[in-house]
Structure formats: structure tokens, C-alpha cells
Amino acid sequence: MRLFLCALLVLAALPVHAADVSVAAASDLSFAIKEIISAFERGTGHKVRLTLGSSGNFYAQIVNGAPFDVFLSADIDYPRQLEKMGFGVPGSTFVYGVGAIGLWVPKNSRINLDALGMRALLEPAAKKIAIANPEHAPYGRAAVAAMQNAKVYDSAKGKLVFGENISQAAQFVQSGAADIGIIAASIARSEPMSRSGSFWLVPKEMYPPLEQGAMLLKRAGAGGKEFMEWLRRPESRAVLKKYGL
């Protein structure tokens, strides 16, 4: 009887109509957003369809009618522009975090990041440098700005290999396809990356602020609205903070 009553209480706490929520998220959120989604699904009964990628590509897809409910961008300018263009719910855009970049090398690397900092990109052992494609990935643009600020870009640009997004750039260097990478701190702080490599945080004054923004699209239903509210909860903020956002 007690188990039956507990089951009824759990069912009563869930929405009468569970919904599917389609979320387009910048790939630097790969680890953080999955934790948040797991808690959201447990707490609401809704199901989330997550798509990870580059913010610039998502922007173009949304303009062309992609059926997302929520857009989590690594550059808040994208959702702001979409809201002005009429794709987002007016006033729904907000900053959910500020990103950071750093240099990452595998543990067997001969490159001493702490001793060299940005000069590590000029080391003979750094034959290939992975970054996200700056044409559509905010983290790629931040990487280029940091290299230019450190006055190493002209010497290093011939060694650059571009990932479609910051997650793919991290995969390049983790797999050995590149020797060093400029990746998101939110990815570097994940358990797989922190266990298998070394990370040096690039000073934030070396690149423009990576203000990251969330936006609710006009097509979104109640589930999408609940997800946006969930992002603002202290528990979600704590997850983002854990990953450096």
C-alpha cells in the first residue's frame, strides 16, 4: 500500500502531458547540458532531443526553418539577432554563462604548457594545432583572437586544423590527430579530458568575452518554456559553474 501511494505521489508531480523538447546547444556544453537535461527529464517527465553543434550553423538552420524549441548559443549575439528577426519569443534571450578557452595537450606530450603558455603553439612538437572553425564557431574566433594578442598567430596559422565545432577540435587533439588544441574550458574540465591531458587556461583579457545566450523559439510549447525556466534554477547554475561557465 505504501509503495502504491508513493507511486501516486510521483505521478502527481509529473505533468499531465509530457512533451518532447528539441534543444540545439553549442558543443562546448556537451558535458554540462547532458547533466542538466538528465535532471530536467527526471523532474518534469518531459523528454529532450539534444543536438550539439556550432552556434553559427545553428543560427543558419533556424533562419531556414529548423524545428528547434530552445537555442543555447556560445555567442549571445546569435540569439539576439534571431529574436530581432522574429524567430524567438520577445524578451526570452538571457546570458546563461561566460565561456573560457585554454590550451590542452595529452599527458604524453613533451610540451610544458605551464612554462610556455601561448608560446607552446610555436614548439616544434606542436606540428598540428586544433581549433574550432572561426567562420561559424565562437570558440574558434576566440582562439584566433588569443593567438593574435599573443603575437603567435602568423607563425602558427600554417599548423592549424579546424574542427567543425569546439567538441570536434577537442576530439582531434585527444585522438592524436593534432598535437595541441585551443579548446573550451567546459570540455577540458570534463572527466575524460582532465584525466587524459593537461590544460592551461588562457587569460580572459586575451580574447573578447564569450557571453553565451539561451533563447526560446516561437514554435516552442510548454516543455520548451519549462526547460528555459529549469536553466535558471540554482541546480542548473551549479552544473554550469562546475564546468567553468
pLDDT at 19: 76
Indicate if the pLDDT at residue 62 is higher than 60: yes
Local confidence band at 37 (pLDDT 50, 70, 90 cut-offs): very high
Q: Are residues 89 and 173 in the same domain?
A: no
Residues 108-128: what's their mean pLDDT?
A: 97
Residue 207 pLDDT > 50: yes
Verify that 111 and 167 share a domain, yes or no: yes
Both 82 and 137 in a single domain? no
pLDDT at 155 over 70: yes
CATH number at residue 18: 3.40.190.10
Q: What pTM was estimated for this model as a whole?
A: 0.87
Residue range 66-94: mean pLDDT, rounded: 97
Q: What's the confidence (pLDDT) of residue 71? A: 98
Judge whether residue 38 has pLDDT over 50: yes
Identify the pLDDT of residue 39: 97
110 and 187 belong to one structural domain? yes
* pLDDT, position 147: 98
- pLDDT exceeds cutoff 60 at 72: yes
- CA 240 to CA 245: how far, in whole Å? 5
Q: Do the Cβ atoms of 196 and 60 come closer than 8 Å?
A: no
| Arithmetic mean of pLDDT, 219-243 | 96
113 and 201 together in one domain: yes
**Phi, psi dihedrals of residue 168, rounded to the nearest 5°:** -70, -35
Q: Are residues 32 and 42 both part of a single domain?
A: yes
Instruction: Specify whether 188 is located in the same domain as 122.
Output: yes
For residues 31-69, one letter each, b for 16 or more C-beta atoms within 10 angstroms of the residue's C-beta and e for the rest, the string is: bbbebbbeebbeebbbebebebbbbbbbbebbeeebebb
The answer on pLDDT for 30 being more than 80 is yes
pLDDT category, 17, cuts 50, 70, 90?
A: low
Spell out the SS3 assignment of the chain. CHHHHHHHHHHHHCCCCCCEEEEEEEHHHHHHHHHHHHHHHHHHCCEEEEEEECHHHHHHHHHCCCCCCEEEECCCHHHHHHHHCCCECCCCCEEEEEECEEEEEECCCCCCHHHHHHHHHHCCCCCCEEEECCCCCHHHHHHHHHHHHCCCHHHHHHHEEEECCHHHHHHHHHHCCCCEEEEEHHHHCCHHHHHHEEEEECCHHHCCCEEEEEEEECCCCHHHHHHHHHHCCHHHHHHHHHCCC
Higher pLDDT, 16 or 56: 56
- 16 has pLDDT over 60: no
pLDDT at 7 over 90: no
Q: Are residues 61 and 119 in the same domain?
A: no
pLDDT surpassing 50 at residue 6: no
Residues 64 and 154 grouped into a single domain: no
Distance set, CA 59 to CA 83, 84, 131, 190 (Å): 11, 13, 20, 26
One domain, residues 197 and 222: no
Q: What is the pLDDT of residue 204?
A: 96
Q: How many domains does the chain have?
A: 2
Range of the domain at 125: 100-206
| 234 and 200 within one domain | no
> End-to-end distance of the chain based on CA atoms, in angstroms?
45
pLDDT exceeds 80 at position 156 = yes
- Residue in this structure with the C-alpha cell 546547444, named with its chain if needed: 25
195 and 128 fall within a common domain? yes
Q: What is the mean pLDDT of residues 79-89?
A: 97
